Every structure is written in structure tokens, then in C-alpha cells.
Structure 1
């Protein structure tokens, strides 16, 4: 069996899974793959980020650790929804065949099938992308297929195989212009496309860039002077580059046992194992020469040559040489540095069916030239720009909202053809724009999404013959290019905005609204004529209402007997009214005393303090939407809708809202303690230090709020923005989850995940959700794990340093591995905590932030573990109060968390409760 990039190489080895974990942080990116094993902690997390390692064809949700590299691999079902999983034929499986090559995903249907990956580093960063293919006669047809592979909308490579055991590696260094990286397999009519493995690596610097900035396709990566003949890759190479052994004719070798770049790493971060060997001419008086036969005279090649001096030259000795390629001098007087790597690149691209390298000894040199390693790339310009990012975001949101299952994968407009139901503009090499969307008879339900308003070039929209409800939104009439709108055959209701009628009358818009019996197309809308039943109904309805009112009043009196009338709904204890209500803007002005006191700010607007003017003077917090908040209105609507249906003692309560068309506000119960973020910073001395027991109780409170959202709500709700600033504390330091503007409700309770655009906060965002757009309750679990780490350490989610920023997980892991609890726990506690409780809480937090979501616990399990932590701390305090006579000392404490054991037991046994 042989392996190749563009030609044969030794067998493919499995790709490592670099476990680094967060996302694009302000200056230095962290990784998205967090290891659960101690071995993973030993990896150099600062060497690589944004790693995605996929074993294509694994069963849904499956993971495993490669026995050779101890790297976790994941299935590809989070990145693609089409295709068929298969195993290669048993006759092609041997003991030395890497596990990732034993399965594959094939695509017998569709002209193009695309993997969608979202690396944490985002767009405009340098990525190494590698795709691996082994046919292995998986389909028993013994027929070698041929097909194309695209990166986004541009062709990357054409796949051909020498035989069924031929392993082909394709590698490209690419800077994606969009947030997603799409890898598409295109059927060219010569067999069914398939893929065995797919990896993405991120480079921190701009080392691998051509002069033009075009992508670089790997042609050769060679390790000169290799004594073992092995392929060198991770973990010898932190970036998992694959170095193939190469020894030229009439060349000798030179090596050292010392480490190269042991003091300072270069930007290329070359593996010492590669650089500690080199080749030199057998005759020291002759040049070092070798030739690569490309057979492609029209291709542009880019060269990287790597050197390191391996001999400790004595005084008067020197190694100086010139480098020529195809007769053109690339560099003169090259002097390798002892045990330190140097890289020389070609100043411009080189063409030729053969690449002739000549390294010539200088006149004053006492030693011959050497070469340690060589990389040759083909410059592959990507001329076609992808679809406009705003259009991509809009259509992806529409896809998520309606759950479209039409094989919508990859770029909406290319390659080959657009998504089913879409038409796109052809702007030459400029970005595609979506100009037509046809979702007729697609089984759509719900309202028309506002994301349609972002398709500014849309000319034709057809949503007919579905079950769409709600009103005809005004924003559709504001689409500047819309010429045809068909909303017929739905369940729309209410008046049609006059702007639609005007455009239809003047011929600028072809409008179809037939088949919506509840839709009013006249202005003003006419009421239906009274019928013979009206007098009867007019008599029955008042009697029914009166009877119902008596029943409600009787039931209310029974339920409130013995209770204070002003007690809030669901034992919130804040004196709030039983029912939320609508407030006018003038009332908001009075409640806030003309917006006198600001208690918070955000991207949505400002939060003000106020008092209800209903005689109770109940304190409230009023979140007022800023007119400049572009997406705030949608989030406000989402938050208001959710708050009316969720009720729990650990969720911030909803008092009411204001929406007069111009001013939008939401009123909450006032949380006098502020948000948790203000209490946990080791650098903030302005607030009192939370005790260890307080931290545990706050953690438990917040966990119970999330447990209710995930388990107590039917269907479940994912918060999507769990962080310390969204955990509020009341005057008794009880914690409550707040800010539900980004929350997502699962439309069907049985759904295991939602495919939706990524939102959240840097440092808390689940890396799996970020890379796959696959949202589950475990995304909240990850964010909550970061909150737990902050409660333990007193550190922010992103720790700002002098030279780089560090994610709290990366900061904590080395200390955890060493068992250094002293330097882990917030120093302001001065050691006043139970060690067993602290380790237990650390274990819970680490289990929550595992990179693979299925390895994280459910929130009900987290709640159970946190109760044990709190029990351990309480037991520790009680034992500390026992005096020398064995009696329990009486303690008077104003601490709101000091409670009798019986009261505490009742409190802790409460699960998610709906009211």
C-alpha cells in the first residue's frame, strides 16, 4: 500500500487531535479541543489552535482515542447531514492500517456534498486543511472513482487512485474569507465521491503565505538525512505537518543528538526530530544537488528551505554556501546557525517541469553545504469569491428557523449550482448574492423570520402553500430589490401593510396573497356582518365570563389563604404582582424617576433602577432597548416571550414590559446584590470577598436554574449566554440566572440538538457548538463549567497577560495536573475552605468543559455534585465549631447562608420546579 499527496508516499499515519480550547481571543487564539486525560494536559496548547479532527464514517456521536497517538477522534455527523457510512473491505485491513482509514463516508446522491466547519479562530486566519482518502473497495464494486474536492466555491484538487489500497492525502494552506470553511466533494460522473478523514489546523503567524496571498497546495514536504525512514508528524511536530524521508543520490548524511531550537522557537516551529538530521554531498568539494520531477511546466511553485548547523565548528572553520534553483540564484552566503533553524523562501514563484536545486560551497568555506528539510507548494489562486457573508448568515438563519431539509450544505451559491430553491447573481469573480428564494410547498410553519430582511438583493420570494402564520411583516416591503412576493396558501392573518398595497397598485411589486382567509387586504379592515347567532352569543358569553370569574376568585382565595396578598408568583419573596402587565413609556419615566439611576449597560442599551408606583414601591430593574441596537429588538422579543412561561426561584422574575412602537423595555425584579462578575475578581478589592460556602451556594443556585431550563421546561430551553455577568444576586445573595435574549427553545421536545448560528460570549462559548453550529443543553453545561472555574479561582474567563491572553482553562490545567490547590483557589480566601470540597468542585468544573459534548454531565448530575460539595463544606464548618469539651459552640451569624441543618436539607433537595 502506498500513500501520496500528488504522488506515492509511505503509509498514512493518523492525525492528532490538538486539545486546546477556546476561540478567537483578543490577541492570541486558544484552542477548541480540550482533553479529558492527563496526557492531554502535557501538550503544548499554545502551539496550535482551532484543531478539528474528524474520522469520516464513524457512527453518529461516536468517539475514540487512536491507540498510536492517543488522540481523540470524533464522528462527522456534526459537520454534514448527507452521505452513507461504510467500512473498507476486510482484505484491505491490516494491523498497521491506522484506525481512521478503516471507515469512510460516501455520497451516492447529490452533485455536491459539503462539510461545514467553523474554526474558533474565525475568518482571515491561516489554516492547514488536510483531507485523506482510501477507497478500500468499500462498495464491493472494485471500481476506482474519480471526483473533485472544493474548498468553498473553488476547486482544490481532482482525486484519482492507482489501486484500491492507494492512500491519497491532499493538503492546502488557506485563509478563508468567511467564518465557515466548507469542504465539498463534487460528483464528476466518474464514480461516487467519498472521504476517510478531514483535519483543520490553525497557524498563529503568517509564515506560510505566498507573495500573492493565494492558497498553497502541498507538493512535497521532505526530511533530508533521515536515518529511520519514518514519517515524522505530531507530536514531534506541533502543527502536525507530515515530513517524508528523503535521501538524494550521491549524498551523505549528518546528524546530532542535541535538540534544535531548544532555547527559542522560530515562527515555523519546526520539529527538532526533522532538523537534527541533514544531507550533504558525499564529495565535500562538490555542490549538493538534487532534482524534483514535477511534470507540470505551467504550475507556480513556492519553496521553503530549512537549515540548522549540526556540528560545533571550531575557530577558523566555516560553512558558507549559495543556493540556486533552475539556474537562478536564490540566496548567497548562507551560514546555518548552530542548533538553531533558519528558513529561506523563494522571493517569487518558480515554474518548471523539473526543479533543479544546487547548493554550492563558497570559496572561503571549510565545510560543504547542508540541507535539513524542504517544503514545496503549488500556488493555487482562488479566483471566485464566496457568497456575501450577510446573505450567508441570513439564509443559514432561515434554514435553522424553518428546519429546511433540502440538502442545503456549503456555500449557498456554489460550486456547481446553488442550493435547491435558490438563484444567485453572477457577478464575475465578485461575491455571489442571493436574488431568488423559493420555499413553496416545503411544510414551513411559524412566522416569517426577520432574517429575510437581510437579503438586500432578493428579487423574488415564494413562501406559498405552507402553514406560515402571523401577520405579513412590514420589513418585506422594505427590501429594495423585491419584485415578486407570493405568500398564498398559508395561515396569515391581520391587516396587510399599506406599503404592499401601494407597490402592488403601481406595478413595482407582483403580490400574491390568495388562500389566506384571515388576511385583511382592505384599509380599514371591514368587520363581518352580524348573523342570527350574534344575540345568542351576546347573551351566553357574559354569563360564561361571570361564572368563570367567580371560579377563578374562589380558587385564588383558597390558594392564598394564610398568605400575604402581595406575595409574588412562585414564592419569589419580592412583593411583586401576581401577573405581569404592560407599562406605558410615561409610566417607565415615572418608575425610573426620569431615568435617574443607571445600574447596568450592554450592547442592547441601558438598565435603570426604579420603583413601581402602585403603592408597594417595589424595586425593579428596567432594561431599555437602545434604538441603535440592531439585533436587540429580536432578543427583547425572545426574552419577553420566554419570561412569560418560565418561573423558578433561581431565574430572574419578569415584572412586565413596555412596547409602544418606539420605546421597548422589560421590567425585572431588582437584584440588589448586582451580578456575580463584580465579586469574583482577585484584582477587585472594592467588594467583600465571597466565602467558600457562599460560592458553593451561588453555584448550586445557578445550576438549579439551568436544570429547570433543561429538564423542568417542556420543551427544553438552552440559555446560550451563561456567564458570571448574567448571574444576579439579591439582597440575601441568592443567585438567579438572567438575560434570556439569546435563549433557544427546542421546537420539539424529542430533538437532541438544534442547528443554529453561533452566539454567545468569548471565553464561555462551547467550542463544539462554535465549530459545528450544533446546539444542545451541553453548550450551557460548558459555559457553566467556566463559571465554576471562576468561582474557584477568582480569575476572569480570559486572563489578560503582557504578551498574550490565556483562557482560564489553559491557565488552570497545569496547576490541576500538579495538584497545586494553593495556587488554584482564590488567594483572597486565605485558605478558608474545605480541601475535599474544593477538589470535588474542580472535578465538576473540568467535567463540564470537556471538548466533546457527550462527555459532559447533564445539569441534574451537576446539581447533585454541587450539593455534595456544599454538604462537605457545611460539615467542615460544624466540626470546626466543636470546642474542647466536645460541645457545639453557639454561633450568631448574620450571613444569609447560615441556616439550620434541617432547613438546609429541605432547600438542597429541591429539584427543578415549575410554577
Structure 2
């Protein structure tokens, strides 16, 4: 091999080695060029830049039009990542030195008219859970914050404020020396960092921390430069200002002073850092001496020594509307002041606390296990904080480090086994995994979770034996458990004795959650067993009318004591109190001879009622099918109907908690009719008179499915319309004659307003009858919640909870049915409100204005909510 080839190979090897060296990340640095498809090393500053793969799991890469290249000062302005979906989207950075270390974090933005709309967006940027800055502009914009990591990671989150699609061009993180830039609390946002008199901006590798020192030479100033090497004693350079920055300075041509001022809010805190070094050799007859004033207060007089750095930190400045510094020559000075560099920082307060670390790790593990980052747009950033961006389906405590106390992942497309990470959520009180495709066995750890009081596993494909400890915990009243809808899942003791797995042997366990407080026990009786949980979509039995008890006319006379006590009356006929042989009380409805109900329709309704079973629907016990005596026998609801409780002032006032209980119970029953029955059942006459209360004040819907034939019942003030009662009838049905599930939603919204206000749907005011939605709309627009809520509550309600229920009610009553949510969504929102109420009672959310999630209402016009009643 000749020498030329040998030299060529050697050169190639050396070149390759140099490339490899250049492509290495710098220790303590994370550098992300958002939107690029390949990593690279910047040839100018020799910084290795990565793609954002692995740092952000949402968003889309984009490139600025080539016509707009140059809209920034470096390559990072040419690409971006945009976030068209979701409210909060985050980058997660995990540096090698994490919690407790101080970092400079830089975010860069260059709009570059990438969307060809010439309309730059405006959006917010958060550092972890606190607001950092707002982007609003069209040219390159770069911002830095000095931040001490609270965890082993830090998140930079873009917040969509409704003013365009958020984007980002670059995210950079630089490890700092913990001893520089001391501050007591919060973080420091860079306002200024200037190398005075420099002809270029200075950053890495001149600055080992990659601080960007922008060039600045004010008008009427000249640059002073020392081209020789200035040796600065590192022990006299506490903020490690680069030599390249100190080799230049600015000196006034005509003035004997230098001023810098910044507008400030009197609540803002500031830190200034001033750097001085004499870089000119002065003649014997020359003197440079000046006084330093910071925030209009004398600080010191400086007589600089050649090649010696003097650093003046201001300390914390507060309480001023203008902050700044001034350099003024003394009387004996023959030269104007000199300044080499300065930095100003504004204090960034950090009022929001991050979620408890163990809960964050667990819920992120669950998110990864089930792939929820792609399907749940809200599952970005911190799970609980700030509260307005809390992950959907979660309820959190308001502790100093919020804890996750409730998870609702019903109908979320979960597959595979139950995630082991759930065991690490030690404050979790309520877990709903119903209506998914979860498989394998029920894990033992669920019984060991110390705070778990409510567990819904219904409607999955779980198999095997239910752990004995879990069943015992339920039987002992320590856990409210639902496991129905898992065909291959067995109650341990039963299956061991029979060896026959069968869904029909799995009941719904409804024990009461115990409490050391007698008050909470009472509340549990009223709420937890009746309200805070719904079954996994309860399936219809294989029942038939033959499985119901049949009565003879003589037996009906016997159980009603010859029709002694009337407890209700409607167009169907009269309702009597009855008592079965075992002592159980029943409601006996006898078809009137004047009713239009015929025998054929009666038979059809009995068949329907025989296969509809839900704890929030009044159960049919039996019937009498005699040509002269058509009778339905129902379970007896000892506390009457909701209408009487709201409008009859001699009855005890329903508390706010009881009203929420009733709303959730009725919603559960209606959701079952709409989604749990095949085909769906439309109630068609939903109203407070048809919501009955048992001895535990549990709400149950009556007359479901009967309105088509029986029209009305339990209410003598009824309509003669084909379906429905005035005040509750869907306006779209009135105009089109089409009844559907959204018709029931409208009726339910009216009921919610009645529960909220204590007023009837229709109210006569003088010669005019007004609808409840029309009455409350002006109060809602004024934000006057106190005037909306039933005055009989005497202010004993949580304002945040009340507003959220108002929002749910409002979402149900638009004139156009398509604008109303499905019952499942309404139920989910009410259940979350209820869970927060219970957490509050247990001391978990005292004083919480932390809110139930509100339903999207698509900019509803209150004037279109409901027509004036005629």
C-alpha cells in the first residue's frame, strides 16, 4: 500500500473520530430541536441536538416555509412541533442530576407563518404545574428560567388558551452550579443578559452553562475592547462570567452616568447582577470612579482595578413600580463609568403544588400500561395540578401534595390484566374499571389497598375466583364492590363448592362503609350505598312474566286489606298500600275501568317490566291478570316521591347532599334504561313525581316504559298529551313529534334545576306561566348562585359543587336535541361531584373549590334553552 493511500485512510479515520466526538451529548445538557427528524451537532456552537422522540408523546412535527427561513437567528427556528389537540401538552425532561439541582431551562419559538395564515397564536407555557410565560408574537422568541427541580424530572407544558394552536421550536436544559444565582423561593425568569460592547452574542462553548449573552451597545456609548487575554481569578468570579463577555465593555461618550430601568408591578420581585472589569490601561492622569445606585439606593463606589472582576448582586428588590440601576461618575473621576455585562431576573412565584410523587409514578405507569396517553387528551402533565387541568376521571385531595382519591376509567377501552401499579395509590378511595375488556384474574392486592372503599370491576372479561380477602372486606362492610358482567368470574366460596362459573350467581354487594364518626356513618347510609357507585352496565335477566309472582283478585283484596289505604292516584288508576304474607310492604296499582289501557298493552308492559332490573328502578313484584282486575304490584317506596319533598313545605328539607344523591340515583336508573337495555327504553315521562325514595332515601325511577301506554301516574296534575308532562316535554318533540333518548335528557335537566332551586318546572306569576329554565337563565348570566339555590338550604352548600351541577343541568336543556350530552356523560359528571362531596365529608377536601368537571356546552345560547311555556 503506497503512502498516499495510508495517509488517506488515516485522514478518514481521524475525520470519523472527530464526527463521533462532535455527536456526543454534553454532560448536564439536554438539547431538543422540536420537529426535526434526525439528530445533529450544531457546527457553530458544537451542541448536540436531539429529536423530540421520547420527550413528547403528543403533537405533530412541522417545518416553517422556506420563504420564512431567517425568521430567527439559528437552525432551531426552521422546525417546530405543533399541538392541535388537547388543552395541555408537555415535554418531560429527565436529566442525570435531577431533584434539588439548579437548571437553566430555555424554550424557543419561531412562528415563521408555518400555516400560511399570517396569524400567530397566543398561548401559555408552564414549568411543571406553574405558569411561566405567555407567547404572543410572530418573530423568534426565546425565554429562560432558572429553576430548582422539585422531582427527578421537569415538564415544560404548552397550554391552549383558545387563541390558536400552540407550538414550540426548541427546548433546552442546562445544569448550573447550585451556588450561583441564589434565591429563597420560586424561580428566576431572565429579563436581560447583555455583554456590553460585544460585536456578537456569546454562548457555549465560551459559556460552559450555555447562557446566551446578547450584544448591546446603547446610543451615545462606545465599545471598549481588550483583544489580549484577560486573566480573571476564578475565585473572584462567583457567577462564572465567561472571559469572552468580560473582554468587552460599554463606555459613555458624552454622559457621566449610565441608567437602566424596567417597569415593575409592586408585587414583583427582582434580582440584578452587575459585572465590572477595567479592560483599558489608564494613564496616570486618568481616573475612573463611579457610584452604583440600585433601586435608587446608594450601593457602593467603585474604583476598578485592571483585569479584576467586580460583581454586584442586588439581592431581592420588591415594592417598586420601576426598578433599575444607575452608574454615576464621582467628582474626582476623569472618565465615564464602564460596565462589561449585566443580568436582570424577575422572580417567578410557584403557588401550585405537584401531585404526591408516588401517585404520579403510579398513574403514569397505568397510563403507559393501557396506552392512555393517545386516547385521553387531558392525561398530560401533572395528574392533579393545577386543578383546571386535572386529568379527566381523577378526583384529587387538596393536600400540600395532592393525592389521587378517585379514578373513573369506565368505558375507556382498557385491555389486559388489572395494572399492578394501582396498588401504589395508597390514598385511593374509589376505583371504577367497569365496561372495559380487562382479562385474567382479580388481583389480591386490591384487598390490601388501605383506603379503597368503592370498587367497580363490572362488565369486563375477568376470570377465576374473586379473592377471599376482597369478598370478606365487602361482606364486613369495608368495601362497596361490583363484579357483575364478568361471565367467567366466580364468587370464591360458591364456585369452590359447585365448580360452576355463572354470571347469574354474582350479585352486587352493597355494604356500608364504616366510619369512626357517627355522623359519617349516617351520611354513608344515605350516600355511599345509594349514590356513589353505579353497577357495571347491568344486564337484563332471562326473566319472563311467569317468573313474577301472580296474584288472584282475592289475594289482591287480602294484601290491600280490601283496598283500605290509597297512597296515590293517576290516570292509570289508584295505588294502594299492601302487605305480603312475609310482612313486606308493596304498592298495588289497580287499573281503572276509565283508563284507556287495554289487556293487550297490559300484557306487553308486564313482559317488559319482568326483564328490567336495576337498583335505581322500582321493582315489579308481581301482577294480577284477571279480565276484571288488571293489577301491578311494586316494591313500596316509603319516603314517597321527590316532587312532594321539594314542594310540600311540611316535609323535611332535602339537604344538598341528599339532592346530589337523588340526582345520581335517578341518572343511574335512566342511564341503564338508555344503555343497559337492548333495545334501549325511553322513559317519556320523567319528572320528580316519578322518582321515588325508599327508606334509605335511595332514588328509584317509577313508571319506566309505561308512559307509552299508561301515559301518567302518581300525579293527579297530568297531561292528556300522547307522552310527557308540561314543563318536562322536549321542545323538539313538541315541534316534530319525534321522541328519543335526548328527550329524556331534557326532562332530566329540568329535574336537576328543580333539585337545585326547590321550585316547580312551571310557575304561575300573575297571568303568565314561566318555565324554570327561563327563570334561572338571567341569574346564571349574572353569576348569582346564591339566588339560584333553594333558599331553604340556608347557604349550606358548596358553591363550586352547585355551579357544576348548574352547568350539567344547563347542558341537558338546549332546544336542539343534538346539543345535549348522552346520559352516560351526565352520570359521570354527577358521580364525580358526588365523590368530591363524600371526600369533603371525610376530611379529604375541606374548603375545596376544586371542581367537578364541567360538560362541554358548545357555546349554548341561554335564550335557546327552552321555550316559554304556553
TM-score (norm 1): 0.49
Deviation at 1:312, TM superposition (A): 4.5
**Which residue is equivalent to 2:234?**
264
1:280 matched residue in structure 2: 251
Q: Which residue pairs with 1:414 in the alignment?
A: 385
Measure, in 2, the Cα distance between the counterparts of 1:474 and 1:316: 89
Separation in 2 of the partners of 1:96 and 1:528? 75
Using the alignment, how far apart are the partners of 2:228 and 2:73 within structure 1? 32
Corresponding residue of 1:644: none
- The 5 Å alignment of 1:839-850 reads none
CA distance in 1, matches of 2:21, 2:118: 44
Question: For residues 487 and 263 of structure 1, what CA distance do their matches in structure 2 show?
Answer: 68
Q: 1:417 to 1:312 in 2, by over 3 A?
A: same
Distance of 1:529 and 1:436 partners within structure 2: 35
Residues 36 and 177 from structure 1, CA distance in 2 versus in 1: closer, same or farther, beyond 3 angstroms?
A: farther
Aligned length: 482
Give the one of 56, 63, 67 matched to 2:39: 63
Q: How does 1:25-64 map to 2 (within 5 A)?
A: 38=18, 49-59=27-37, 62-64=38-40
The verdict on how the C-alpha distance between 1:205 and 1:295 changes in structure 2, with shifts beyond 3 A counting, is closer
The answer to whether residue 172 in structure 2 is matched with residue 199 in structure 1 is: yes
Residue deviations 1:378-435 (CA, integer Å, cap 9, x gap) = 11111111111111111122223333332432212234322233222234xx222111
> Is the 2:194–2:215 Cα contact (8 Å) retained in structure 1?
yes
CA distance in 1, matches of 2:431, 2:454: 6
Pair 1:375 & 2:333 matched: no
Contact 2:55 2:93 in 1 (8 A): yes
3-state SS of paired residue (1:399): helix
In the TM superposition, what whole-angstrom CA distance separates every residue of 1:617-675 from its partner, at most 9, and x where no partner exists? xxxxxxxxxxxxxxxxxxxxxxxxxxxxxxxxxxxxxxxxxxxxxxxxxxxxxxxxxxx
Contact 1:260 1:341 in 2 (8 A): no
CA deviation map 1:723-759 (0-9, x unaligned) = xxxxxxxxxxxxxxxxxxxxxxxxxxxxxxxxxxxxx
Q: Which residue of 2 aligns with 1:145?
A: 121
For residues 84 and 397 of structure 2, the distance between their equivalents in structure 1, rounded to whole angstroms, comes to 29
Change (3 A) 1:508 1:527: closer
Give how far 1:240 is off: 1.6
Q: Which has the larger radius of gyration?
A: 2
CA displacement 1:5-32 (0-9 Å, x = unmatched): xxxxxxxxxxxxxxxxxxxxxxxxxxxx
Structure 2 counterpart of 1:424, from 380, 396, 406: 396
User: Secondary structure at the residue paired with 2:389?
Assistant: coil
Equivalent residues of 2:259, 2:327 under 8 A apart? no
How far off its partner does 1:96 sit? 7.9
Give CA deviations for 1:773-822 in whole Å, capped at 9, x if unaligned. Answer: xxxxxxxxxxxxxxxxxxxxxxxxxxxxxxxxxxxxxxxxxxxxxxxxxx
Give the secondary structure class of the aligned counterpart of 2:423: helix
Shift of 1:454: 1.5
Decide whether the 8 Å contact of 2:24 with 2:48 is kept in 1.
Answer: no
- Contact 2:247–2:279 (CA<8 Å) still a contact in 1? yes
Which position in structure 1 is the counterpart of 2:491?
A: 521
Give the structure 2 partner of residue 169 of structure 1. Answer: 142
1:518 is displaced (CA, Å) by: 3.4
- Structure 2 distance, partners of 1:91, 1:443, is 44
Cα distance change, pair 246–296 in 1 and its aligned pair in 2 (3 A): farther
Q: How does 1:227-376 map to 2 (within 5 A)?
A: 228=199, 230-261=200-231, 264=234, 266-282=237-253, 287-294=256-263, 296=265, 298-312=267-281, 319-329=288-298, 331-362=299-330, 368-376=336-344
Pick from 492, 497, 509 the counterpart of residue 462 of structure 2: 492
Partner of 1:105: 81
2:441 to 471, 486, 493: 471
**2:106/2:143 contact within 8 Å kept:** yes
Q: 1:413 to 1:337 in 2, by over 3 A?
A: farther
Residue 97 of structure 2 is matched in structure 1 by 121
- Residues 509, 220 of structure 1: CA spacing in aligned structure 2 closer, same or farther, 3 A cutoff? same
Contact 1:460 1:484 (C-alpha < 8 Å) held by counterparts: yes
Match in the other structure for 1:21: none
Structure 1 position 351, deviation (Å) = 4.9
Residue by residue over 1:486-539, the C-alpha shift from the partner in whole angstroms, topping out at 9 and shown as x without a partner, is 1123333343333322332343321011123333324374343699xxxxxxxx
Note if contact 1:287-1:358 (Cα within 8 Å) is conserved in structure 2.
no
CA contact (8 A) 1:305 1:344 kept: yes
Q: Secondary structure at the match of 2:105?
A: strand
**Cα 1:49/1:314, change in 2 over 3 Å:** farther
Q: Secondary structure at the match of 1:526?
A: helix
Partners of 1:508 and 1:351 lie apart in 2 by: 55
Check 1:356–1:526 CA distance in 2 against 1; reply closer, same or farther (3 A cut). Answer: closer
Q: Structure 1, unaligned stretches of length 5 or more?
A: 1-34, 532-915
* SS of residue paired to 2:470: helix
Q: Distance in 1 between matches of 2:232 and 2:273?
A: 21
Whole-Å separation in 2 of the counterparts to 1:189 and 1:320: 54
Q: Show the counterpart of 1:399.
A: 367
Cα separation, 2, equivalents of 1:305 and 1:345: 6
Please give the residue correspondences for 1:569-718 in structure 2 after superposition, counting only pairs within 5 Å: none
What's the offset of the Cα at 1:366?
6.7
Q: CA deviation at 1:256?
A: 1.2
- Alpha-carbon separation, structure 1, partners of 2:24 and 2:307: 21
Distance 1:443 1:367, change over 3 A: same
Question: Does the Cα contact within 8 Å between 2:271 and 2:314 map onto a contact in 1?
Answer: yes
Residue 363 of structure 2 aligns to a residue whose secondary structure is helix
Matched residue of 1:68: which SS? coil
Structure 1 counterpart SS, 2:306 = coil
Say yes or no: does 1:225 pair with 2:205. Answer: no
Q: CA RMSD in A?
A: 3.1
Alpha-carbon shift at residue 248 of structure 1 (Å): 3.2
Contact 2:71–2:110 (CA<8 Å) still a contact in 1?
Answer: no
CA distance in 2, matches of 1:87, 1:378: 33
CA-CA distance at 1:241 after TM superposition: 1.4
TM-score by length of structure 2 reads 0.52
Distance 1:529 1:254 in 2: 93
SS of residue in 1 equivalent to 2:157:
strand
Aligned equivalents of 1:530, 1:462: Cα separation in 2: 27
Superposition deviation, residue 304 in structure 1:
0.7
Q: Is the 8 A contact 1:280 1:288 kept in 2?
A: no
- The offset of 1:249, in angstroms, is 4.2
Following superposition, the deviation at residue 364 of structure 1 comes to: 6.7
Query: Contact conserved, 1:237 with 1:271, CA < 8 A, in 2?
Result: yes
Q: Which runs of 5+ in 2 are unaligned?
A: 1-14, 502-870
Residue aligned with 1:448, SS: coil
> Alignment partner of 1:491: what SS?
coil
Match of 2:577 in 1: none
1:187 match: secondary structure:
strand
